[in-house]
Amino acid sequence: MSDRSLRGKTAVVGVGETTYYKRGGAPDAEFVLAIKAILAACEDAGIDPREVDGFSSYSNDRNDPSRISAALGIKELKFACMQWGGGGGGGSGAVANAASAVASGVADVVVVFRALAQGQFARFGQGPKMSAIAGDMAYSMPYGVMSPAQMFAMRCTRHLHETGITRDTYKAVSLATYAHAQNNPRAVMHGRPLTPEAYDNARWIVEPYQLYDCCMENDGAAALVIVSADRAKDLKKKPAYILGATSGSEYRNAAPSHNAPLYATSSFTSLAPRLYDMAKVGPKDVDVLQSYENFTGGVVMSIIEHGFCTHEEANSFMTTENFLAKGGKLPLNTSGGNLAECYMHGLELITEAVRQIRGESPNQVKDAKISMVTSGPMVTPVSNSIFGSRETL
């Protein structure tokens, strides 16, 4: 192992979240949600919150680490890190940044968090209300390309066209994810199962996405605590060791006006090999996958780009049965994810990946030892991460 690799040097030792709410439904201000999730994660880890000395987040989270440190009486802040750009694509990137800080001795106890109160602040899924737009967006917004769904739909249309993959794969992602949420009391869609008929009959949002291909919009906060592998051994919960975490994207992915040379991808083609190389595992070793669903089509691309099947195999491999925790070949989004647990901007996928290693998932995959996350398909930068139990070190 190269001395510069992150593999096995740090671990997630605490996870926590607030109650997850429908958009606008949180009784607390966003800052309060952030604090509550951080305290819950520290409680779970058995670490005094005053001992936290670093914070890592993404997507321009509004809750400033210095302000959080003041509010919680944190003894000394040593690390305050924001992953730049890519929205929810920064989730695993924030883990990579936190783990890098701990592995290199920059800080000792780093919290990764994300908080959203869309009632208090603006919604993701609505177009902007300004009267004029200049710059890159002047070439798309006036044509009605304004929401995230509208920004990514053409990548998926092209992908379906190039590969012959059908929208049945989208449906499988959605149905499996909803099925998992029915066993998860934390899930906003708990008690609201999705039938194949309801999926089919739902309205179009923007072709090729129907309603249940799209993530929810929610309020809440989630957090996790990262410490060194040494420290992790003595804490109360089973550590989820960080075997690898990478972020980035392909050559000129952000070329304006949809000019990315590799257009029909989820932006992971260059990251996937780097992640497996760092973690020293391959797709065959992965027991369970949490794959960020802004839109189901992005999940389909992410799964292929991470080598779980080829384009040619996708139509037969990507079935609801294969995605279920119970008996599936690739258990997927076992908490209900962004579609049905909570759109916690994908941090709920990472807490779920950790719970799988601990044996605490509401849809536990038997003996899960290698647990993987892909964060934010089709944006740039995207990121991904792999967590392992002690025996994988």
Nearer to other proteins, 48 or 251 (CB): 251
> Closest CB to other proteins among 60 and 126?
126
Which listed residue (7, 9, 114, 155) binds other proteins by CB under 8 A?
Answer: 155
Shortest Å, Cβ 173 to other proteins = 19
Is 104 one of the binding residues for other proteins (CB under 8 A)?
A: no
Residues 202-231 contacting other proteins, CB under 8 A = 203-208
Residue at token pair 């510069």: 4
Which CB atom, from 124 or from 308, has the smaller least distance to other proteins?
124
- Terminal alpha carbon distance of the chain: 11
Burial 46-58 (b: 16+ CB within 10 A, else e): ebebeebbbbbbb
- Which residues inside 159-188 make contact with other proteins, applying CB under 8 A? 161
Q: Which is nearer to other proteins, 259 or 316 (CB)?
A: 259
Per DSSP, what are the bridge partners of residue 110? 54, 226
Distance in Å, CB of 261 to other proteins, minimum:
9
150 interacts with other proteins by CB under 8 A? yes
CB of 117 to other proteins, least distance (A): 20
Q: Are 281 and 386 in contact (CB under 8 A)?
A: yes
- Identify residues 118-147 at the interface with other proteins (CB under 8 A): 125-147
Which candidate, 197, 186, 50, places its Cα nearest to that of 111? 50
Give the CA-trace dihedral at 255, 259, 262, 266, to 10 degrees: 70
311 binds other proteins (CB under 8 A): no
Span near other proteins by CB under 8 A; candidates 35-43, 148-156, 268-276, 280-288: 148-156
Residue 292 token pair: 């960020």
Smallest gap, in angstroms, from Cβ of residue 174 to other proteins? 17
Between CA 244 and CA 292 the distance in angstroms is 17
Nearest-5° Cα angle at 238, 355 to 227: 95
Closest distance between other proteins and the C-beta of residue 15, in Å? 33
Q: Give catalytic residues, as residue numbers.
A: 292, 343
Residue with Cβ nearer other proteins (104 or 201): 201
Footprint (CB under 8 A) of other proteins, residues 246-275: 252, 255-259, 263
Spatial separation of the C-alpha atoms in residues 20 and 37, rounded to whole Å: 11
- Strands 288-291 and 370-375, by their bridges, are parallel
CA 218 to chain centre: 14
- Select the span of 5-13, 74-82, 156-164, 364-372 touching other proteins (CB under 8 A): 156-164
Rounded distance between C-alpha atoms, residue 291 and residue 65, angstroms: 27
The interaxial angle of helices 30-45 and 65-72, nearest 10 deg, is 60
**Closest CB 304 distance from other proteins, rounded Å:** 18
Q: Identify the DSSP state of 67.
A: H
Between residues 73 and 143, which has the closer beta carbon with respect to other proteins? Answer: 143
Residue 5 or 270 with smaller CB distance to other proteins: 270
For residue 228, the cross-strand partners are: 10
Binding characters for other proteins, 36-55, by CB under 8 A (x = yes) = --------------------
Report yes or no: 322 and 281 within 8 Å, Cβ to Cβ. no
- Surface-to-core class of residue 288, CB atoms within 10 Å of its CB (0-12 exposed, 13-18 middle, 19+ buried): buried
Q: Cβ of residue 9: shortest distance to other proteins, in angstroms?
A: 36
User: Do 157 and 207 contact (CB within 8 A), yes or no?
Assistant: yes
Pick the binder of other proteins from 32, 154, 198, 235 (CB under 8 A).
154
Binding stretches for other proteins (CB under 8 A): 125-147, 149-150, 153-155, 157-158, 161, 203-208, 252, 255-259, 263
